[in-house]
Structure 1
């Protein structure tokens, strides 16, 4: 096994100060997401989504963000998936955008809500037909006997449906993570990282506080 204690890099690409921070979390996120796109980071919209079941047992996976605005961050999935079942009983999530090439990460925590049928259609319709068929044929997170079984389900559905895009299955749709905390993390030399966090202050009518966290 490689010596993991030596697998470390000093973070020297930048700093993040309160003076440089945008007025709102979504404006700051927009800046950093734009930087990730410009830097040609592979799939900059890839985000770790962590959920928990009714007993508090955690689970995490990587999905693709499909949109964001001041209301929150959106992704699509099967409502019948493991995360869908977990969100049904515990509608909260944590997100991490790991932009390692920029020595940055963004962490988001908040409640989760479904985005509705029309907005879910807007996520589903642009998908290529092959992706739609695969999603519709697969009961996500369930146990299957083999790869061949999955491929046969896809072939069968593909042959049974007209050419063109498929209608969105009722069990597939979008979720929005409504932020309560959004942390912007910039790696620093000697592990003296910059961590600035927007925190929703419900006592002040839904305003946001900015806090600096120790690394």
Structure 2
């Protein structure tokens, strides 16, 4: 690609606005409103979010995961505890989530503390998944080096045969995390790059402080 073309790529946002008075006092309720609106207009993969973690000495990494639930306590996703993200969370529980919905010209950033959900919650979700996904979780040593694709496919075939007619057990190394939020930022694209940015900062167990940031 011509670098001049890359530098000239830009969009002008003008579909909506965001003000301190128009948003809810509770950021999780505000998230729910935006998420429902994303569902109404059929935003593709609306529950896709970038999960950012870091090593104990601050080396960051990021990847896309799927939101599988949210409530007053936080935002839930599932993964392999022995994956790179799982190991990083074990050493440094600070994390961040980012949602970007281009068709709505909106972004949401959420920062907080990551903790494992209960074993019971992980078990319940694991057994609600398609059987093929259950076997995939059991077969995959996520983030570890493997010799080739055939090795993981052969493992999946072995497990398929082993558990034919039986329930697939949730592996001990697989389960959920909840990000307990301490900060939200709601971003609404606006014309001339004068975007709206409303930030919520948690000030105690129940209350949030709302501020506007310069774009």
TM-score of the aligned structures, taking structure 1 as reference length: 0.96
CA contact (8 A) 1:15 1:187 kept: yes
Contact 2:20 2:211 in 1 (8 A): no
**Match of residue 85 from structure 1:** 87
For 1:63 and 1:74, the matched residues in 2 are separated by 10
The offset of 1:52, in angstroms, is: 0.3
Give the RMSD, CA atoms, in angstroms.
Answer: 1.1
Equivalence for 1:207: 207
Q: Give the whole-Å Cα distance in 2 for the aligned partners of 1:80 and 1:184.
A: 32
5+ long unaligned stretches in structure 2: none
SS of the counterpart of 1:14? coil
Give, in whole Å, the separation in 1 of the partners of 2:37 and 2:165. Answer: 39
> Relative to structure 1, is the Cα distance of residues 164 and 212 closer, same or farther in structure 2, using a 3 angstrom cutoff?
farther
CA distance in 2, matches of 1:137, 1:63: 19
1:130 aligns with 2:95: no
- 1:63 is matched with 65
Runs of 4+ in 1 over 2 A off after TM superposition: 162-165
* Distance across 2 between alignment mates of 1:68 and 1:206: 17
Match of 1:173 in 2: 175
Count of residues in Structure 1 that have an aligned counterpart in Structure 2 = 213
TM-score with structure 2 length normalisation? 0.96
Structure 1 stretches lacking a partner, 5+ long: none
